[in-house]
Amino acid sequence: MPPPVPAVRRMSAVGSRLNPDKFLGQDYYQLHKDYCQNRARFLDSTFPPNESAIGPGLLDDDEMKNVEWIRPTKMMSDPQLVVDGESRFDFAQGDVGNCWFLSAIGAITFQREIMEQIIPSGQSFKKEYAGIFHFRFWRFGKWIDVVIDDKLPTIDGELIFLHCKTRNEFWPALLEKAYAKVCGSYADMNGGFVSEALADFTGGVHMTLFPKEERPELWGLMYRAVQYRSIMGCGTPQGATSANTELPNGIVEGHAYTVTGVTKLKSKGQGVKLVRLLNPWGRGEWVGDWSDNSPLWKTVSSEDRTKWLDSKNDGEFWMSMEDFCKSFVNVDVCCLTPAFLDGSSPESWSTKQYEGCWDEKTAGGSMEHKQSFWTNPQYQVKIPAIEGDEADVQGLNLLVSLMQKPDKRRRSLVEHLHIGFSVFRIPPEMKDQKAFPASFFSPNTLVSQRQHSSNTREVMEFFKMKPGRYLIVPFTNKPNSTTSFLLTVHSKRE
């Protein structure tokens, strides 16, 4: 069993967990106080409950005409923010294609500390109710506090978007509205990657694993990630004809799922590695080996069957690691520490974040552009030698993440550049050099390169590096492509 993850160090700087930045300048506590004193209900002028908040393309003209924005206190006599704690089974997806967002919500319900960070305490439909709520998200290096009014879009009295299975529970619908405000509208949440929401819910270490690569340590990494209280999501490949087609085996194409469990059981005397998954629709399950009604469950002990099997049509199911690797194309892991990579102590890793940009002087393009590549931003990192018994077992010791920042308010209008980073070994005789000229960058010094051809906002990779000094160069594929970025480097210490 790994050592416990330490509590995050509390900081008072604006944008920290304890002191999040006020999104759009709105101070929840002051607004709440003012509206309570005036016995009025808050109406958010920065995200007004109208057609613009829903956004284009989600509803047709007739549906839009029938939309009525209603406060929960007008929907029923006893609305609650949370009923019997937050659960991954609380909610069901509405008319937005945001399964990536719901998959992440299902993951964070396992983590009380994360839920308390995202949904601040003291909010209620009863005590000092003023129609105002707030939620917190991590966005591009800092925490933000997002204020909303509680008017929710309905048609014929029913919520259009994310809703709770318990009719008087409203935390999922209000959380979705707060995130829609950050994105620009509900329509701006249509389509995305679960990795994006996992990062925005935690501000933690993110990495993407690829089952198709058949990494022999994949199950071990996922198992350790659970021990270190990580949250995980995964995705299926896009279908040949259309997205969200349900296959005969119950798996939905082009869909995001939540990883809710990883375990190993004995079946017929042999160890079987299993993964538990949740469909954020709240229905639709795998029907193959180790599914709810699979006869294979009769081959394990009654104790294991009682502990792990829950035969309900709730969208959650087990499958073998082999079937998981055949059905899913990526696994996104988000954790407060990369220590799960090798089962080490969280204190043995250090983290540095750098905010930078590619501008007219520093957007040098990829290594294909030899005359300008050297003008890209440059960052140095030192990998120390490990002494003692572990010296010959140099494991994963460097994790690099490059995230580009949006240049537009609305999420759907952001055009991500194709970005990447190169890692070069710095010779000992150049260890004191501050900047490196064009002549330094050659295939002889290149250690690794990671880049995306798709439009994801983040590129990451983890490495096994020999002791020494290294240079990290973030780049855009084409020169003169300008935007801001956040570079995060996690390195193993002595």
Count of beta carbons in the 10 Å neighbourhood of residue 158: 10
Residues 166, 216: one domain?
no
Residues 352, 470: one domain?
yes
Residues 395, 470: one domain?
yes
Question: Is residue 15 a contact partner of residue 21, using CB atoms and an 8 Å limit?
Answer: yes
Which of 163, 164, 183, 279 is catalytic? The answer is: 279
Give dist(CA 450, CA 400) in Å, integer.
Answer: 10
Residues 184, 213: one domain?
no
Asked, for residue 474, whether it belongs to a domain, the answer is yes
**pLDDT (0 to 100) of residue 392:** 40
Residues 73, 182: one domain?
yes
Task: Report pLDDT digits (tens) over 103-154.
Answer: 888 888 878 888 899 999 999 999 899 999 999 999 998 999 999 999 999 9
Domain boundary among 192, 225, 255: 192
Domain boundary among 277, 302, 334: 334
Residues 125, 80: one domain?
yes
Interaxial angle between packed helices 99-108 and 194-202, expressed in degrees from 0 to 180 and rounded to the nearest 10: 40
Return the bridge partners of 420, or none.
451, 475
Return the bridge partners of 258, or none.
233, 278
Domain boundary among 334, 369, 397: 334
Residues 327, 364: one domain?
no
Task: Report pLDDT digits (tens) over 263-294.
Answer: 999 999 899 999 999 998 888 899 999 999 99
Asked, for residue 465, whether it belongs to a domain, the answer is yes
Residues 177, 36: one domain?
yes
Asked, for residue 365, whether it belongs to a domain, the answer is yes
Asked, for residue 287, whether it belongs to a domain, the answer is yes
Give dist(CA 21, CA 3) in Å, integer.
Answer: 32
**pLDDT (0 to 100) of residue 103:** 83
The domain that holds 466 is classified in CATH as 2.60.120.380
- Residuewise pLDDT in 10s, the chain (494 residues): 444 444 444 445 888 888 999 999 999 999 999 999 999 999 999 999 999 999 998 888 899 999 999 999 999 999 999 887 665 666 666 666 678 888 888 888 878 888 899 999 999 999 899 999 999 999 998 999 999 999 999 999 888 888 777 888 899 899 999 999 999 999 998 888 888 888 899 988 888 888 876 566 788 889 998 888 888 999 999 877 666 788 999 999 988 899 999 999 999 989 999 999 999 888 889 999 999 999 999 999 999 999 999 877 788 999 999 999 999 998 999 988 888 888 888 888 988 999 999 999 999 999 999 899 999 999 999 988 766 544 444 578 889 999 999 878 888 778 888 999 999 999 989 888 989 999 898 776 888 888 766 667 888 888 888 999 999 999 999 999 999 999 999 988 75
Range of the domain at 86: 21-192
Residues 328, 361: one domain?
no
Residues 209, 187: one domain?
no
Asked, for residue 341, whether it belongs to a domain, the answer is no
Asked, for residue 403, whether it belongs to a domain, the answer is yes
Concerning whether 99 is annotated as a catalytic residue, the answer is yes
Which of 32, 98, 99, 134 is catalytic? The answer is: 99
Residues contacting residue 201 through CB under 8 Å, at least 6 positions apart: 104, 105, 108, 114, 118, 137, 138, 231, 334
Residues 261, 126: one domain?
no
The secondary structure of 368-426 as a DSSP string is T-TTTGGGS--EEEEEPPPPGGGTT-----EEEEEEEPPSSSSGGG-----EEEEEEEE
Which of 32, 163, 255, 418 is catalytic? The answer is: 255
Residues 48, 166: one domain?
yes
Concerning whether 330 is annotated as a catalytic residue, the answer is no
Concerning whether 255 is annotated as a catalytic residue, the answer is yes
Domain total for the chain? 3
Asked, for residue 340, whether it belongs to a domain, the answer is no
Give dist(CA 187, CA 117) in Å, integer.
Answer: 26
Return the bridge partners of 351, or none.
490
The domain that holds 288 is classified in CATH as 3.90.70.10
Asked, for residue 215, whether it belongs to a domain, the answer is yes
